[in-house]
Amino acid sequence: MSISRRAFLRSSAAVAALSLALPEFAFAQTKAEAGGTLRVAVDQAISVIHPLLTRVNPEYLAVELLYSGLTRLGVNMQPEPDLATSWESNDDLTEWTFTLREGVKFHDGSPCTAADAVASFEAILNPEMASPARNNVGPIDKIEAVDDTTVRFTLSTPYADLPVALSYNNARIIPAAVISSDFQSLRSKAVGTGPFKLVSYEPDRLLVVERNPDFYDPERPYLDRIELHVFPDLGAQISSLISGDIDMVSTVAPNDFMRLEGQDGIDTLRAASGQFCNVNFGTDIAPFNDVRVRKALALTIDRDAMVDFMTEGFGTKGNDTPLNESYPFFKALPQREKNIEEAKKLLAEAGFPDGFTAELVASDRPAIRTQLAVALKEMAKEAGITINVNTMPHATYLDQVWTKGAFYVGFYNMQPTPDGILKLLFTSDAAWNETRWNNKTFDDLVAKARAVADPAERTELYTQAQQLMHDEVPSLIPAFFDVLGAKRSWVQDYQIHPRASVFRLDYAWLNTEAPTRKG
């Protein structure tokens, strides 16, 4: 079917001439074409396809194709309808009601109703299930099905970001029947309501999905089939993209990005993001329990140089807070710049007139962690601080240093909301309390911001919280990374997402220049 349609379109001189002469115009005007196989390269094995247990971007991608959430995250970081078509809350933001689509079916043909949504969120919140989504879906106290298409969330504290939080990568709706019978069975099969159905799955090589004809939107998805190819070697990804063997690379390194720029038939994709690599202080361990020492180190950093060195220029300066322009409710604070005099003065006040020596731990994955550590070592020298960089295997780091150490390098994806990243890393009750900063004023500001619907007021509260972090420096955040990707020009309507873990391939389609692939 699709072959003959394609052949017909290709032979149509009018279409070809138009797209040759005015590609931009033609693309903007063309309606999405259905059909075709899209091949995507991912850089890590897809070890887990259980929608509630995924942990890395290629797994998030696979699950996004196969399952739906109640809401999904737009490229503008705003929540959009998925299985829920609308939602509203009471005035104090403690009770949220979501209205679900009618007539949605799971891949096995069974209906998806409010009862499945309730069971899914109960599973997510059940510590026994150990879903990483548990810490990210908000302060849900109770969830109940009002009727077949209405779900009510009762929260333990007010939470303005609930619709965004519910779009979290591993907060997906699965059949209640599967949860009660064999929860783990979803590690090897997929029973979702997503735009695609699972065809085959080999963790280290290939995952294939095909169009779900019963998807709730009759138009989407446009593609017949998507193949996720695992390419552990970044160079091989790029070669395969250039040769046209694959159509899209989900993540591209800066040097490959520069190599691809200007190549015929390839579009490089770039989005500013809140992704960062930072240096964490154990704020309960000497000498880093002294604000002056932490601030002195912050003042040794040449942030422009950091952006150049760490991101090859594909990034933005950080100001020792995890928020930047990419987040909603953001207002910039005055930028901290390098000031060796001030740093030395602070060190002397803290009792280290001749500097001190410290060991900075960096895990070996990704390599950028070590780059940051080495750069900081060189910059801190000027203020008399001697840093010894200790690189260790990632698993060893997680076991021995992470959330326990005094001085180590972290690496984080952008979260959907300011609340998401602050609650993940920096409040006293943070899921990963890496710095043990435990500042009550900061906690209160973050908690207050959750309970406010007015954007201006929220911005003000987050700015105060940022100011506190900026002053006390529990963590050095010298630079943010842009998210980089690439695709063949024949792939249409794919936008790279600042969060790097959201893909929205049900909107993507292939124009007539795409190669026809059997499958």
Partner 1 sequence: MSASYILKRIALIFYTLVVVSLLVFAITQILPADAAVMMLGENATADALEALRQQMGLNDPIWLQYLHWAGGVLQGDFGTSLRTGQPVGPALFSALGTSLTLAAFALVFMLLLAIPMGIIAAVRRGKFADLSVSFISYIGVSLPEFVTATLAVVLVADWWKLLPPAGYVPLTQDFWGGLERLILPVIVVSVMMIAHVSRMVRSELVDVMHTDYIRAARLKGLTPRRVLFRHGLRNALLPTITIVALDVGYLLGGVIVVEEIFSIPGIGRSLMSAIQARDLPVIQAGVMIMATTYAVVNFIADVTYAWLDKRIQYD
Q: Does 469 bind partner 1 (CB under 8 A)?
A: no
Tokens of 325: 């322009």
> Burial of 360 by CB count in 10 Å (0-12 exposed, 13-18 middle, 19+ buried)?
buried
Q: Which residues contact 44 (CB under 8 A, 6 or more apart)?
A: 56, 57, 58, 230, 232
Contact 83, 112 (CB under 8 A): yes
Binding positions for partner 1, 203-232, rule CB under 8 A: 203-205, 229-232
Q: Does 240 bind partner 1 (CB under 8 A)?
A: yes
Q: Using H for helix, E for strand and C for coil, what is the string for 46-110?
A: CCCCCCCCCCCHHHHHHHHHHCCCCEEECCCCCEEECCEEEEEECCCCCEEEEEECCCCECCCCC
Residue 2 Cβ, how far from partner 1 at the closest point, in Å? 19
Site string for partner 1, 27-66 (x = CB under 8 A): ------------------x-xx-x--x-x-----------
Q: Closer to partner 1 by CB, 242 or 340: give it.
A: 242
Residue 184 Cβ, how far from partner 1 at the closest point, in Å? 6
Give the Cα separation of 133 and 235 in Å (integer): 33
Contact 119, 106 (CB under 8 A): no
- Residue from 432, 433, 452, 460 touching partner 1 (CB under 8 A): that is 432
Phi, psi of 515 (to 5 degrees): -70, 145
Q: Does 291 bind partner 1 (CB under 8 A)?
A: no
Residue 45 Cβ, how far from partner 1 at the closest point, in Å? 6
The SS3 assignment for 154 reads: strand
Q: Does 365 bind partner 1 (CB under 8 A)?
A: yes
Between helix 340-349 and helix 291-299 the angle, nearest 10°, is 160
Q: Does 131 bind partner 1 (CB under 8 A)?
A: yes
Contact 13, 519 (CB under 8 A): no
Q: Does 455 bind partner 1 (CB under 8 A)?
A: no
Residue 486 Cβ, how far from partner 1 at the closest point, in Å? 15
- Residue from 74, 81, 111, 132 touching partner 1 (CB under 8 A): that is 132
Neighbours of 116 (CB within 10 A): 25
What one-letter code names the amino acid at 23? Answer: P
Within 98-223, residue ranges assigned H as helices are 114-125, 162-165, 176-182
> If you write DSSP's letter for every residue of 340-371 in order, what string do you get?
HHHHHHHHHHTT-TT--EEEEEEESSSTHHHH
Give the Cα separation of 85 and 141 in Å (integer): 22
Residue 242 Cβ, how far from partner 1 at the closest point, in Å? 6
Site stretch for partner 1 (CB under 8 A), options 18-26, 198-206, 207-215, 335-343: 198-206
Length of the chain: 519
Q: Does 184 bind partner 1 (CB under 8 A)?
A: yes
What one-letter code names the amino acid at 349? Answer: E
Binding positions for partner 1, 380-419, rule CB under 8 A: 393-396, 398-400
Q: Closer to partner 1 by CB, 399 or 471: give it.
A: 399
Site stretch for partner 1 (CB under 8 A), options 238-246, 270-278, 334-342, 485-493: 238-246
Residue 170 Cβ, how far from partner 1 at the closest point, in Å? 10
Q: Does 188 bind partner 1 (CB under 8 A)?
A: yes
- Residue from 20, 157, 235, 441 touching partner 1 (CB under 8 A): that is 235
Q: Closer to partner 1 by CB, 41 or 112: give it.
A: 41
Site stretch for partner 1 (CB under 8 A), options 17-25, 202-210, 299-307, 380-388: 202-210
Residue 150 Cβ, how far from partner 1 at the closest point, in Å? 29
Binding positions for partner 1, 247-276, rule CB under 8 A: none
Give the Cα separation of 501 and 483 in Å (integer): 10
Site stretch for partner 1 (CB under 8 A), options 71-79, 97-105, 239-247, 457-465: 239-247
Contact residues: partner 1, CB under 8 A: 45, 47-48, 50, 53, 55, 127-128, 130-132, 134-135, 184, 187-188, 202-205, 229-233, 235-237, 239-240, 242-243, 245, 365, 393-396, 398-400, 431-432
